[in-house]
A and B are shown apart, each in its own frame.
Chain A
Amino acid sequence: MATTIKELMSEIRTRVKEATTTEVKARTQSGEPLVLIDVREPDEVDQGHLPGATHIPRGFLELRIEALAPDRATPIVAYCAAGNRSLLAAEGLQRLGYKNVVSMSGGFNRWRDEGNPVVVPRRLSEADRRRYSRHLMIPEVAEAGQIKLLQAKVLLVGAGGLGCPAAYYLAAAGVGTLGVLDFDKVDESNLQRQILHTMDRVGTSKTESARRTLLGLNPGINVIPIEARLTSANVESIFQDYEIIVDGSDNFPTRYLVNDACVLLKKPNVHGSVYRFEGQVTVFHPPAGPCYRCLYPEPPPAELAPSCADAGVLGVLPGVVGLLEAVETVKLILGAGESLVGRLLHYDALKAEFRTLRLRRDPKCRYCGDGVRFPGFVDYEMFCANPASVAH
């Protein structure tokens, strides 16, 4: 005589224990080394799962359980959507010799409806899979890395010679939130190197111009224009919303503010600077490496700069250096490779030479030294009464 599913389930219930959602919740909070297995199909799990659950679809459960829990005494809770598939799953595990298995009655649906915590896994959309397909092919990035990039928040200080190329590639790479800080307007003389801006935007704000170009390239990211000059009064509140600060400024007062705020807020400061044919790149992130003040405790005094003559730069050079800053930023987000923390990369364009110099933290540094109290921000005097720009 054929057995109905109802009869089968009743029969299994005599041999397999069930636990209520309340009991499972208590066990997950007790610190017990519990293995929580979600046996649903992938599209169901995408809608949300229990915190800490491992996903093994029921069809693969017996094949994969040993890798997850080789010890047959391991306490295991299986759950599905409503508590039926997990009952069958638990029975399968018992057949393999697992002695301590229960099925959660009511399943994920009851767990969620009772208002218990649910984790919704972040997955790339089909459009994102197409856009970032070349990232997905690299093991160091892959889906998990691309999700990190999309969740990252990076602030570019300056939308000039360094900030433009850095922002352009960070936007292309899918860095999800890009803050762009600059107070200046686009000038025709910027266009030799500041590639986010265009001729028809001369006279408009650099941050707005940057936003338009970046969203034109990648409408899937969030660009936050911050039209402001960085000061001791606003630096902390602006920086606190970001995880990584990319310094593309071109003047000492801003560089020291960026450094000091990054030290205070413990954020990595991706540093680039250019002069004519020479560029420097490093990442300041004490205590793993030095801060800017370990290298240069104070800016050159203003009286050594009596006149205001713009220093020239080969237009392509900030492109190279800004992109090196972008590479370091992406590496920090992914946690990949060795960052430039503790090393200064020096580029000589005329010689076509890269050299690295070792940078060490000064344990007596007034800002990042051992046990020092943050001495406060300093608004250094601008060298020039009418500085051309916050950025190159």
Chain B
Amino acid sequence: MPVTVRIPTPLRPLSHGRDSVQLAGATARQVLESLERECPGMSSRICDERGELRRFVNLFLNEEDVRQLNGLDSPVVDGDILSIVPAIAGGAPGFDRALLGTRD
């Protein structure tokens, strides 16, 4: 049983509308790499140029913030749920653009 990654609404255009994706990997980072292969463009929204989580995005392994664990190197096992939780200001203009980004 692979790891389930929950995709927040603002990133669903990159996951072809899917709210979750089943992926393989031994660490959170490997799962995000699988996510990038499955949904190109996703990792740059979640991680910065150095490959670390952006400051306005949190990643939870089950109920726990991965920053409280081993960060992106936290080990994951089959059946785990990784939730991408971006800062949500609300319905303000520009919010989804902020996460989706248009730098490229």
- Give the complex CA separation of A306 and B58 in angstroms: 23
- Give the complex CA separation of A274 and B92 in angstroms: 10
CB within 8 Å of B: which of A341-392? 344, 346, 348, 350-351, 355-360, 383-384, 387-388, 391-392
Q: Tell whether A309 pairs with B97 under 8 Å between CB atoms, given A296-B55, A297-B55.
A: yes
- Give the complex CA separation of A310 and B92 in angstroms: 6
**Residue B15 CB within 8 A of the other chain:** no
CB within 8 Å of A: which of B35-92? 54-56, 58, 60, 63-65, 68, 83, 85, 87-92
B90 touches which one: A274, A298, A346 (CB < 8 A)? A274
**Residue A103 CB within 8 A of the other chain:** no
B55 contacts which chain A residues (CB < 8 A)?
296-298
**Residue A255 CB within 8 A of the other chain:** yes
Q: Once the chains bind, are A307 and B90 in contact (CB under 8 Å)?
A: no
**Residue A137 CB within 8 A of the other chain:** no
Residue of A nearest to B57 (CB): A296
A358 contacts which chain B residues (CB < 8 A)?
60, 63-65, 68
B89 touches which one: A255, A307, A309, A348 (CB < 8 A)? A255
Residue of A nearest to B87 (CB): A296
Tell me the dominant secondary structure on chain A's binding face: loop
A83 contacts which chain B residues (CB < 8 A)?
none
Q: Once the chains bind, are A274 and B94 in contact (CB under 8 Å)?
A: no
- Give the complex CA separation of A276 and B96 in angstroms: 11
Q: Name the interface size band of chain A.
A: 35 or more
B54 contacts which chain A residues (CB < 8 A)?
300
Q: How far is the CB of A353 from chain B (nearest CB, A)?
A: 10
- Give the complex CA separation of A58 and B97 in angstroms: 72
- Give the complex CA separation of A277 and B54 in angstroms: 24
Chain B CB within 10 A, most for which of A273, A304, A313, A383: A304
**Residue A311 CB within 8 A of the other chain:** yes
Q: Once the chains bind, are B102 and A392 in contact (CB under 8 Å)?
A: no
B60 contacts which chain A residues (CB < 8 A)?
357-358
CB within 8 Å of B: which of A267-311? 273-278, 280, 295-301, 303-311
Tell me the dominant secondary structure on chain B's binding face: loop
**Residue A249 CB within 8 A of the other chain:** yes
- Give the complex CA separation of A162 and B88 in angstroms: 13
Q: Once the chains bind, are B89 and A251 in contact (CB under 8 Å)?
A: yes
- Give the complex CA separation of A255 and B85 in angstroms: 17
A311 touches which one: B83, B87, B96, B103 (CB < 8 A)? B96
A307 contacts which chain B residues (CB < 8 A)?
94, 97
B9 touches which one: A161, A275, A304 (CB < 8 A)? A275
B56 contacts which chain A residues (CB < 8 A)?
296, 298-300
Residue of B nearest to A308 (CB): B93
Q: Tell whether A296 pairs with B58 under 8 Å between CB atoms, given A357-B85, A359-B65.
A: yes
Q: Tell whether A250 pairs with B64 under 8 Å between CB atoms, given A304-B101, A306-B97, A309-B94.
A: no
A300 contacts which chain B residues (CB < 8 A)?
54, 56, 87, 98-99
A359 contacts which chain B residues (CB < 8 A)?
65
Q: How far is the CB of A212 from chain B (nearest CB, A)?
A: 24
Q: How far is the CB of B46 from chain A (nearest CB, A)?
A: 12
- Give the complex CA separation of A47 and B103 in angstroms: 69
- Give the complex CA separation of A305 and B58 in angstroms: 19
Q: Once the chains bind, are A276 and B9 in contact (CB under 8 Å)?
A: yes
- Give the complex CA separation of A280 and B88 in angstroms: 8
Residues on A close to B: CB < 8 A?
A: 161-162, 249-252, 255, 273-278, 280, 295-301, 303-313, 344, 346, 348, 350-351, 355-360, 383-384, 387-388, 391-392
Residues on B close to A: CB < 8 A?
A: 8-10, 19, 54-56, 58, 60, 63-65, 68, 83, 85, 87-99, 101-103
Beyond the given A273-B88, A304-B97, A307-B94, please list 9 additional residue pairs across the A-B interface where CB-CB is below 8 A: A252-B87, A275-B10, A278-B88, A296-B56, A300-B87, A308-B94, A311-B93, A312-B91, A358-B68
The 6 tightest CB contacts between A and B, nearest first, are A250-B90, A383-B94, A305-B94, A300-B98, A251-B92, A273-B88
Q: List 16 A-B contacts (CB under 8 A).
A: A276-B9, A280-B88, A299-B87, A300-B99, A304-B98, A305-B98, A308-B94, A309-B96, A311-B92, A311-B95, A358-B60, A360-B65, A383-B93, A384-B94, A387-B92, A388-B93
